[in-house]
Amino acid sequence: MTAEPLLQPLFLWLAGAALALLTVATLIGAVLAQRVTTPAGHDTVRNLNARIRSWWVMVALFAAAMLLGGTVTLVLFALLSYLALREFLTLTPTRRGDHPGLFLSFFVVVPVQYWLIGIGWYGLFSIFIPVYVFMALPSLSVLGADTTDFLTRTAKAQWGLMLAVYCASHAPALLWLDIPGYELPGALLLLYLMTVAQLSDVFQYVFGKLWGKTRLSPGISPSKTVEGLLGGGLTAVAIGTGLHVITPFTPLQAAGMSLVIVTAGFFGGFVLSAMKRDLGVKDWGTLIEGHGGVLDRLDSVVFSAPLFFHLTRYWFT
């Protein structure tokens, strides 16, 4: 299947709904900014408004890419992978012996991984990084004859590629799935994944701020609560179930897929929060106001995208 530009009336309707929701959220944020009186309230509203502004930018970018077709979407995700990998490796110090492997990662692995998706070579795309690149990185590093923290350095480079490139690349790969009887563009599957994953994050934040009392793990992520996880997760699952009309899934199947996305997305955010605590930083970067870096925004997607892609490919193609 080729990934054609998305000009379906259904997509335009969904885009209009997203714009309407963002407009309402912007107005609510403006009203709250005028009404809160406590310092804590000001901080919460300021954070909320920063998130809303960044959502305007991200929705515009993704909508433009999906409208312009699969190639532009691949280029966008390749750029995001490059930036996310840069954030990850910037916070995990390297040594001179790692430089050949880093060059390979940024300027060979990233473009080749997305090129393999673009030509539909699933057999190689699915093993290129976890097999061939994983063996190549330590092989290049060992030529530098520097054994200081060799295992740690190698593992960090491999984990960075796994998260920022391999896992993230499964999201645009949805555009190339050939599903019998599914007449809608594959871009709607990508839209489905991103919508459920990101709304789960948003609603977990909102439910946690409004009703959160029981913290899940203050040492890893102080803002995550049981109430936020349950309320936000179930809301995202309900929305994902309602969006079954843009997928090849029945309502029950959509509910199951949404639950997979929400669960994987939660652990993605949780695991990457643990990594940040280990590194002693709050965010992976500062590129996106209100969200930190690219990897902060993609943390739920990098865990959910591979599961969603392979479940869809296995059961529906």
From first to last of its 317 residues, what are the pLDDT tens digits of the chain?
A: 455 555 557 667 777 777 887 788 788 878 878 887 787 777 777 777 777 777 777 777 777 766 777 888 899 899 999 999 999 998 888 888 899 999 999 999 999 999 999 999 999 999 999 999 999 999 999 998 889 999 999 999 999 999 999 999 999 999 999 999 998 888 889 989 988 998 888 888 888 877 888 888 888 888 788 998 999 999 999 999 999 999 999 999 999 999 999 999 999 999 999 998 898 888 887 776 556 788 888 889 999 999 999 999 999 98
Of the candidates 186, 315, 192, the one whose C-alpha atom is nearest the C-alpha of residue 243 is 192
**Phi then psi dihedrals of residue 216, to 5 deg:** -75, -50
Token pair, residue 161, equals 């590629």
Rounded to whole angstroms, the Cα distance separating 231 from 213 reads 12
* Confidence at residue 94, expressed as pLDDT on a 0 to 100 scale: 84
Rounded to whole angstroms, the Cα distance separating 171 from 241 reads 19
Reported as type and span, the H/E element at residue 278 is: helix 251-279
Is residue 213 helix, strand or coil? coil
DSSP letter assigned to residue 176: G
Query: Which positions ≥6 away from 147 have C-beta within 8 Å?
Result: none
Contact 290, 54 (CB under 8 A): yes
Measured between alpha carbons, how far is residue 199 from residues 117, 213, 274 in Å? 26, 21, 22
DSSP letter assigned to residue 224: E
Rounded to whole angstroms, the Cα distance separating 103 from 37 reads 51
Angle CA 228–88–224, to nearest 5: 10
Size (the chain), residues: 317
Beta pairing partners, 288: 292
| Single pTM value for the model | 0.88
| Cα-only R_g, the chain | 20
Contact 205, 153 (CB under 8 A): no
Q: What DSSP assignment string belongs to 227-276?
A: HHHHHHHHHHHHHHHHGGGGSSS-HHHHHHHHHHHHHHHHHHHHHHHHHH
Rounded to whole angstroms, the Cα distance separating 88 from 284 reads 7
